[in-house]
Amino acid sequence: MQQFSIVRKGYQPSEVDQAIEALEQKVAQQEKELVDYRAREAELDKIEVQANLKAEAIIASANAMADQRLQQALQELEGIRKDALGLRELIETFQNEYNQLLRQYMLRMRTDEFPALMNRLGALIEQAGGEHLQKEEEE
């Protein structure tokens, strides 16, 4: 704190006036700084609100995009599942038809062609055996 010179009727008025003026200037400077700080604080608050709104918008957009991609993936997966079930049904149908044709072929082979095949085989054996006997007799 500043010390004032003592005069007859109190402190020296010019010194007091100078001190008051210096204090007024200091107060004015600090008030100006306070106004500047408050303006900066208001600006920062506004920027913070805008940043929060932007962040919320980005998050909402990302969530919407993620939901959309999830739905697309689920639809694609459902399509793949349906295709797989269709292929499975097609394979089972093919296997059933193949087995049925194979059974029919085997049945026909046993009843129709097998005896004829055995007769032909017997004739070939007999013929081969007869030729073999003729060769032995000639030697």
Is residue 50 situated within a structural domain? yes
User: What is the per-residue pLDDT for 38?
Assistant: 96
| Structural domain includes residue 1 | no
Tell me: pLDDT of 86 over 80: yes
The larger pLDDT score, comparing residue 128 to residue 58, is at 58
Is the separation of the CB atoms in 16 and 6 below 8 Å? no
The structure tokens listed for 56 are: 């919320």
What single letter denotes the amino acid at residue 130? G
Does the residue 63 lie in any domain? yes
pTM greater than 0.75 (yes/no): no
Q: 3-state DSSP: the chain helix, strand, coil percent, rounded to 5?
A: 90, 5, 5
Specify the long-range contacts of residues 96-104, CB closer than 8 Å, at least 24 apart. none
Quick one: average pLDDT of 96-123? 80
Tens of pLDDT, residue by residue over 18-70, are 999 999 999 999 999 999 999 999 999 999 999 999 999 999 999 999 999 99
CA–CA separation, 33 and 36 (whole Å):
5
The answer to whether residue 133 scores a pLDDT higher than 60 is: no
Q: Which residues form the domain of 12? A: 6-138
- Give me the pLDDT at residue 106, please: 79
Is 51 domain-assigned? yes
Q: Look at the chain and report how many structural domains it folds into.
A: 1
